[in-house]
Structure 1
Amino acid sequence: MSDTFTKLTYQTLQQGKNYFSLAHKTLSLQLKNLTYPTLGQNIKPIPNEILLKLQQRLNQLLETDWQDAQKGVYPESLLFDNPWEDFFCYYPLVWLDLPQIWERVKQNKYQDFAPEIETDGYPSYYVQNFHHQSNGYLSDLSANLYDLQVELLFGGTADVMRRRILAPLKQGLKAFESVPPRQVRILDVACGTGRTLKLMRAVLPQASLFGTDLSPAYLRKANESLSQIPGELPQLVQANAEELPYLDDYFHAVTSVFLFHELPAAVRQTVIEQCFRVTKPGGVFIICDSIQLGDSPEMLSLMDSFPETFHEPYYKHYTTDDLVARLEKAGFENIEMQVHFASKYFIARKPA
């Protein structure tokens, strides 16, 4: 009876997130149509059959999430972990930022940064208003709004999709069962606000966790969040994933969540090769990112409109990019792929 009640509570929570996200999108669209009626005229509405397919995938994702908790992959408490304080604090700011976003879209401004934002020294492909958000990834406000914005985009399932890396991560670490838990090292590349590292800490309380990101603002947010968790603080470093500042064969596992669709093709290969370099022989590298066209040909219209709707300049190429070939070129083997809702996962192993 307890499990039934817990599952019902979990389903109610996720449905509430989904309904809230839908309401937010509906109201913001209506407001945009009133204030900027010409914006988005070329973007076609999502057909009902695609919406039905998405709902089916969403239901499957939530069931997988519940089952993984039941199997002990992670504690049930993770199912209910949500930064409510941030939500109530920053949601009004999401609305206040929308007019700036719409004005930026209207003027086709995709590299628009406030004068106080330092943009020198970053790769040109990174200095973008990804998702049309103000100051891209380079401001504290952006870092504060990011997790909420992504939850609204994915109907409250961003963390649910992040959690799909935990089962293959734990499975991959079995190759190092003789290593004391405190000596196990895991790197999250492009760790952002630290949500993935927080999930890892819940299932691997003794492991040494590391995170890199290009944005000092997002690293500050990650440090603020992760420092509230008892135990060893993950080691966060500002670094370009094209030049990871670690020794060869240093990590037992490496992960990357929602990064590769925001990289140019050549950079994707470089980052994969860097991840291979720093992974120990026998270690595992896990990518979580967007689904690709070959996984869901019926989603073509949705994928076609996504880059324009959310300013993702490298997404279209990503949808047809052969990441398995890229992983194999770098030296990875035994590559497994999974698809959950809107995300795709590559689980690759470095030869022992």
Structure 2
Amino acid sequence: MAETLTKLAYQTFQQGKSYFGLAHKTLSTQLLNVLAPDAKREIEPLSTELLLQLQQRLNDLLERDWLDAEQGVYPASLLFDNPWEDFFRYYPQVWLDMPKIWQRVSEKRYQDFSPTVRLSGYPAYYVQNFHHQTDGYLSDQSANLYDLQVEILFNGTADAMRRRVLSPLKRGLESFAVAPHQLRVLDVACGTGRMLRQIRGMLPNASLYGIDLSPAYLRKANQLLSELPGELPQLIQANAEELPYLDNYFHGVVSVFLFHELPPEVRQTVIEQCFRVLQPGGVFVICDSIQLSDSPEMAPAMRNFATMFHEPYYRHYTTDDLGDRLEEAGFSAVQSETHFMSKYWIARKAAQAETTVNS
């Protein structure tokens, strides 16, 4: 009975977030058509059949999320973890920010930043207003709004998609005969720390690390992660092309929603860096957008995403074979799977390849 009630509560919780996202997008689209018609993009209508497929994929994602919690992969409390205080505090700012976004869209200003934002020291591909975000990833306002904007984009399923990383990560870490507090896990491009928060819920005693290029997003991550019990993850501002860690240091490495925002040659460099810092026998899990090769029926939705948002490397990403890139870097036993609008790669570093650091 208790499990039935918990599942019903989870379904109601997710349904509420989904309706919130749909209502926001419907109203904002109507306002956009009235107030900023020049900002309107050519969006491909989705067929009824495709919409039904999307709904089924969403239902499958939520069922998998519930089953993993029920089977003890992670605690059920993670299913209800949501930054409500931030959402209520910053939701009005999402609306206030929209006229700026619409103006940038209409004028195709993709490198538009506030005068107070420091732009030096970053790779050129990073200094952009990805998905028309005000100040890109380089201001505190952007960091404050990001999680709410992503939840709206994915109709409340962003965390559920992130949690698909947890099961393969946990399985991969089981091969190490070390105490829980000796496990070291790195999140590459950790952003505001939502993935690290999920990992902490599953691995309360592990040593967690995160790197990101944005000081503002790292400040937000520190704020949100400091609310959790236990050791605060070690966060560093760094470029994933040059990870500031020793060879063979981590037992697990994850990266969420990063690779579609990297130029092709940078994707390979980042994968090679993740291979370098991972211990032999360790696991690397990538979560990113679905691709054309395994989700051809979702091609209209992918085209709409590229049309609606400024994602300059997304079209190439949808046809890029990350499995080949992982194997080229030295990973083995590469597997992939899809859940809703995301794809996951699970790769291992061969246990006999090199000598591990002392645990």
The residue identity in structure 1 corresponding to 2:12 is T
Q: How many residues align?
A: 351
The residue identity in structure 1 corresponding to 2:225 is L
The residue identity in structure 1 corresponding to 2:184 is R
Structure 2 residues without counterparts, runs of 5 or longer: 352-359
Residue matched to 2:344: 345
Q: Deviations over 1:96-122 (max 9, x none)?
A: 000000000000000000111001110
Secondary structure (helix, strand or coil) at the match of 2:125 reads: coil
Write the distance in 2 (CA, Å) between the matches of 1:305 and 1:59.
22
Residue matched to 2:130: 130
Matched, 1:85 2:85: yes
Secondary structure (helix, strand or coil) at the match of 1:136 reads: coil
The residue identity in structure 2 corresponding to 1:195 is R
Given that 2:151 and 2:157 are in contact with CA atoms closer than 8 Å, whether structure 1 keeps it comes out as yes
Write the distance in 2 (CA, Å) between the matches of 1:212 and 1:39.
35
Q: Deviations over 1:190-210 (max 9, x none)?
A: 000001101111111111000
Write the distance in 2 (CA, Å) between the matches of 1:46 and 1:111.
30
Write the distance in 1 (CA, Å) between the matches of 2:337 and 2:201.
23
Residue matched to 1:59: 59
Residue matched to 2:37: 37
Write the distance in 2 (CA, Å) between the matches of 1:184 and 1:74.
16
Q: CA shift at 1:275, angstroms?
A: 0.2
Residue matched to 1:258: 257
Secondary structure (helix, strand or coil) at the match of 1:79 reads: helix
Secondary structure (helix, strand or coil) at the match of 1:209 reads: strand
Residue matched to 1:69: 69
Write the distance in 1 (CA, Å) between the matches of 2:56 and 2:172.
29
Write the distance in 2 (CA, Å) between the matches of 1:34 and 1:226.
40
Matched, 1:102 2:102: yes
TM-score (norm: length of structure 2): 0.97
Matched, 1:7 2:13: no
Given that 2:32 and 2:40 are in contact with CA atoms closer than 8 Å, whether structure 1 keeps it comes out as no
Q: CA shift at 1:336, angstroms?
A: 1.1
RMSD, matched Cα: 0.8
Given that 2:41 and 2:307 are in contact with CA atoms closer than 8 Å, whether structure 1 keeps it comes out as no
Q: Deviations over 1:244-287 (max 9, x none)?
A: 00000000000000000000000000000000000000000000
Q: CA shift at 1:304, angstroms?
A: 1.5
Residue matched to 1:246: 245
Q: Deviations over 1:122-163 (max 9, x none)?
A: 001000101101000000000000000000000000000000
Given that 2:275 and 2:349 are in contact with CA atoms closer than 8 Å, whether structure 1 keeps it comes out as yes
The residue identity in structure 2 corresponding to 1:271 is V
Which aligned pairs between 1:1-352 and structure 2 lie closer than 5 A? 1-176=1-176, 178-352=177-351
The residue identity in structure 1 corresponding to 2:6 is T
Secondary structure (helix, strand or coil) at the match of 2:126 reads: coil
Quick one: percent identity of the two aligned structures? 70
Q: CA shift at 1:294, angstroms?
A: 1.0
Write the distance in 2 (CA, Å) between the matches of 1:127 and 1:47.
36
The residue identity in structure 1 corresponding to 2:93 is L
TM-score (norm: length of structure 1): 0.99
Q: CA shift at 1:22, angstroms?
A: 0.5
